[in-house]
Amino acid sequence: MSNSSLELTISVPGFSSFDHGVGACAMRNIDMNMVPSNSLEDQDDEEISGGGGPPRKKLRLTKEQSRLLEESFRENHTLNPKQKEALAYQLKLLPRQVEVWFQNRRARTKLKQTEMECEYLKRCFGSLTEENRRLHREVEQLRALRVGPPTVISPNTCQPLPASTLTMCPRCERVTTTTTTTSNASVKPSTLTQ
């Protein structure tokens, strides 16, 4: 970014548009859709600036303009009014056009970032699904290895509990006791045997 143009600009609060003829805007006579003559490609810009504009004609930025805008965007994703004015002057564009370009550029950046995050989450989902499948298989294999119902020793009587009082916790898939008559019978991992 050249700061020499900064010295030429006057920031006038409240005059964000071009048609006031004050400050830096007075130095330029820029048409809305004027494309500098050094454009490298598509130059069918007759009647672009025609005043009786029925449908709006779309401006295409030149490669050089795009390059400078990108360069500026790399330094700052937002511009203050002075920077905007200076850049607009340098590019022979309106401050509004620079502003719009930055707005759209920020939106594109955000969109790209969102797409990347989406891809990342998809990959995460895929690997987690695979891990989940693997763990389920492992659980099935471990279940298949069981020879009989687990024997649980009551902490009170030190006698084996009847198998009918045992249930499988659906959440953690651990064996618990149902509270029937022996209400204070709890299962400690150490007392659970296969």
Partner DNA sequence: AAGACTCAGGCCCTTACTTCA
Partner DNA sequence: GCTGAAGTAAGGGCCTGAGTC
Q: Which is nearer to DNA, 96 or 153 (CB)?
A: 96
20 binds DNA (CB under 7 A): no
First to last CA, the chain: 75
Q: Which stretch binds DNA (CB under 7 A): 103-111, 115-123, 153-161, 179-187?
A: 103-111
Distance, in Å, from the CA atom of 36 to the CA atom of 38, rounded to the nearest integer, reads 6
Q: Which stretch binds DNA (CB under 7 A): 10-18, 124-132, 141-149, 170-178?
A: 10-18
Distance, in Å, from the CA atom of 47 to the CA atom of 53, rounded to the nearest integer, reads 9
16 binds DNA (CB under 7 A): yes
143 binds DNA (CB under 7 A): no
108 binds DNA (CB under 7 A): yes
28 binds DNA (CB under 7 A): no
Taking CB under 7 A as the criterion, the residue among 2, 38, 66, 186 binding DNA is 66
Q: Report in angstroms how near the CB of residue 90 gets to DNA at its nearest.
A: 16
Q: Which is nearer to DNA, 65 or 154 (CB)?
A: 65
